[in-house]
Amino acid sequence: MAKKVKRIGVLTSGGDSSGMNPCIRAVVRTAIYHGLEVYGIRHGYQGLIDDDIKKMNTRSVSNIISRGGTILKTARCLEFKKKSVRKRGIANLEKHKIDGLVVIGGDGSFRGAEALYEEGGIKIIGLPGTIDNDIAGTDFTIGYDTAMNVAMEAIDKIRDTAASHDRIFFVEAMGRNAGALALSAGISAGAEEVLVPEVPTDIDALAKKLENGIKKGKTSSIVVVAEGDDAGNAFVVAKKVEEKTGLKSRVSVLGNMQRGGSPTAFERMLASRLGLAAVEGLLAGRSGVMAGLVAGKIKFSKIKKSSTAKKKISKELLNLDKILSI
């Protein structure tokens, strides 16, 4: 029988997302509840190679459930792509006798986790943490719901000023190459159009739609542009539309504010459930997997799949947006 884990490490890696803190809290408290020792690794893989590793206790995670960001800090550690560098990380885990690791992050962080699992024989469980909701094997990533709410509230505010001035606004949402965040924020804020990278953008059709809206009595419009859209960023799209229609507009780039803020109740629940699942998964002998939420239930899937397979954008939501934005 495989040896049971006794001492686990936890790290957050890649772009921070709201919900990472309640997830760390769940990992730490579940580990202690089950009699394990738990170590926090600061600044993601950078801290792993620099040996920035500290023992945690139940009090280390007091009062963080409502806080955005990550108390463990995070980083995008490009160096970790090198095997020789990963070796240092593995040596540090061995030095602290850490035999199980929980990695909270996005697909890039999972590629690092997968390599550690394959090269170091470390038991690893990944938890999806990113505002982009672009990870296969889970319906929701930790951070997505809060970011969607933050973006929606920002767009609501933009709507107030757009309506007062009879203006068109192009609002850029984050999401890297995925349109999930832009789409859900756009639908929930009642945007006139959402442009996502997964669907080729037709500038002529967009220009016509905005002009038709004016003919039908619309005095203001909001177009949400996902940052990875094929037509370009929000400034470029606004310029292209102006060239076709003569319509003047304003551009707002939401940017990194979408990663901050207190996690929503849904986020805290998701993060807490996944944190517990990771620790109990390690105790049950699972490794090389990611815990996700699928149709309301915790499901484990191969971390390799989550780091490579691209999550598809929801056709249902694309259709919902098309119908409700007429």
Under the rule (CB under 6 A), what is the footprint of ligand F6P? 15, 106, 130-132, 174-176, 227, 256, 259
Q: What is the C-alpha separation between 277 and 50, in angstroms, rounded?
A: 28
Pairing of strands 168-173, 249-253: parallel
CB of 245 to ligand F6P, least distance (A): 29
Considering the complex, what minimum distance in angstroms separates the CB of residue 105 from ligand F6P? 9
The Cα 214–Cα 209 span in angstroms is 9
Report the residue number, 147 or 282, with the smaller CB distance to ligand F6P: 147
Of 120 and 260, CB closest to ligand F6P: 260
| DSSP designation for 142 | B
The strand ranges marked E within 153-260 are 168-173, 193-195, 221-226, 249-253
What's the min distance (Å) between Cβ of 152 and ligand F6P? Answer: 16
Which CB atom, from 30 or from 184, has the smaller least distance to ligand F6P?
184
Give the integer Cα–Cα distance in Å for 172 and 203. 16
Marked catalytic residue, from 16, 99, 107, 132: 132
Cβ distance to ligand F6P smaller for residue 99 or 134: 134
Sign of the torsion angle spanned by Cα atoms 247, 248, 252, 253:
positive
Sheet containing 168-173: give its strands across: 193-195, 221-226, 168-173, 249-253
Going by C-alpha positions, the residue among 208, 207, 199 that lies closest to residue 230 is 199
By C-beta, is 20 or 31 nearer to ligand F6P? 20
- What is the pairing mode between strands 53-56 and 7-12? unpaired
Q: Bridge partners of 227?
A: none
Q: Residue 100 or 129: which CB sits closer to ligand F6P?
A: 129
Bridge partners (DSSP) listed for residue 291: 300
- Of 90, 110, 80, the residue nearest 302 (C-alpha): 110
The two three-digit tokens of residue 99, written as one number? 């035999």
Q: How far is the CB of 175 from ligand F6P (least distance, A)?
A: 5
Confirm whether 132 is a catalytic residue. Answer: yes
Minimum gap (Å) between residue 111 Cβ and ligand F6P: 14
Min dist. Cβ of residue 69 to ligand F6P (A): 12
Q: Give the residue numbers annotated as catalytic, written as ranges.
A: 132
